[in-house]
């Protein structure tokens, strides 16, 4: 029975296309070149920051974010960067009586920005706020605590088989992979994908899948109860 659904942020509810374009501009690299290198880094299973280091070998994300703020060009996102299917999906799951949360690797400014968007969620957790980042087990322990304490009742939704599905499965959760973002299209880990409860191309698909799963669970529980009584 799914009682809580947690979503990764970047690449799952948040379209990072504009963010990647801004980084290419900041680094002084043609956008299509940056995208090509970014895809190659993902395909090789490397940390995404290696794409930045291709153009600037001494690249340090935290320091670079500070430089962008000082230059008046901070990394930011807004309503226009949400995937069109995100808000409706979150609302539909809450209407089913589920606890809905966001939990992703995000920098210091992101949690306040996410709260300002007034999304229909009960919990917002970030790697900066929690002091631990995916794919560390400690991050998913925080998700479990925020979701009520029973990992088997939590569905974690993300675009990355390596950072999202695999560690969430290891923590005892059920998982859903969404095929979008560079990772969703490029990084293929069949052994992980096969263990996911759902694999989707759009968040519009998720609420009916969850509802059907829980209805089937209820029907099986009732049938077992009736058989015992009989």
pLDDT of residue 109: 84
pLDDT of residue 115: 93
pLDDT of residue 227: 65
pLDDT of residue 45: 86
Q: How confident is the model at residue 181 (pLDDT cuts 50, 70, 90)?
A: confident
pLDDT exceeds 60 at position 230:
no
Terminus-to-terminus CA distance in the chain, angstroms? Answer: 24
Percent of the chain scored above 70 by pLDDT?
97
Computed over every residue of the chain, the mean pLDDT equals 93
Q: Determine how many CB atoms are found less than 10 A away from the CB of residue 21.
A: 13
pLDDT exceeds 70 at position 137:
yes
Better pLDDT: 221 or 137:
137
pLDDT digits (tens, 9 = 90+) for 167-180: 999 999 999 999 99
Range of lowest pLDDT (58-72, 120-134, 188-202, 211-225): 211-225
pLDDT exceeds 90 at position 104:
yes
| This prediction's pTM | 0.91
Q: Determine how many CB atoms are found less than 10 A away from the CB of residue 171.
A: 18
pLDDT exceeds 80 at position 220:
no
Does residue 123 sit in helix, strand or coil?
strand
pLDDT of residue 226: 63
pLDDT of residue 228: 64
Question: Where in the chain are the domains?
Answer: 4-14+79-228, 17-70
112: closest CA among 72, 87, 76, 62?
76
pLDDT exceeds 90 at position 107:
no
> Across residues 151-161, what is the average pLDDT?
96
Report the chain's C-alpha Rg in angstroms. 19
135 cis-preceded (ω within 30 degrees of 0): yes
pLDDT of residue 222: 73
CATH number of 4-14+79-228: 3.40.50.1000
pLDDT of residue 67: 93
Q: How confident is the model at residue 184 (pLDDT cuts 50, 70, 90)?
A: confident
pLDDT of residue 100: 98
What are 33's two structure tokens? Answer: 């070149």
pLDDT exceeds 80 at position 25:
yes
């Amino acid at each position: 029975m799914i009682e809580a659904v947690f979503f990764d942020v970047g690449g799952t509810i948040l379209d990072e296309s504009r963010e990647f374009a801004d980084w290419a501009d900041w680094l002084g690299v043609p956008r299509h070149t940056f995208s090509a290198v970014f895809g190659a880094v993902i395909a090789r299973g490397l940390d995404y920051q290696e794409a930045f280091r291709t153009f600037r070998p001494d690249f340090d994300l935290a320091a670079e974010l500070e430089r962008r703020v000082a230059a008046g060009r901070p990394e930011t996102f807004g309503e226009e960067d949400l995937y069109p299917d995100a808000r409706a999906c979150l609302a539909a799951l809450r209407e089913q009586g589920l606890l809905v949360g966001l939990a992703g690797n995000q920098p210091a400014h992101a949690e306040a920005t996410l709260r300002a968007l007034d999304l229909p969620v009960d919990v917002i957790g970030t790697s900066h706020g929690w002091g631990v980042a995916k794919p560390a087990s400690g991050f998913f322990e925080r998700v479990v605590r925020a979701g009520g304490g029973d990992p088997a009742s939590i569905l974690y939704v993300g675009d990355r088989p390596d950072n999202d599905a695999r560690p969430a499965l290891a923590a005892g959760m059920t998982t859903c992979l969404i095929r979008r973002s560079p990772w969703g299209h490029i990084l293929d880990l069949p052994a992980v994908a096969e263990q996911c409860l759902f694999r989707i191309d759009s968040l519009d698909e998720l609420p009916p899948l969850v509802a059907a799963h829980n209805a089937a669970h209820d029907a099986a529980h009732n049938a077992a109860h009736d058989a015992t009584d009989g």
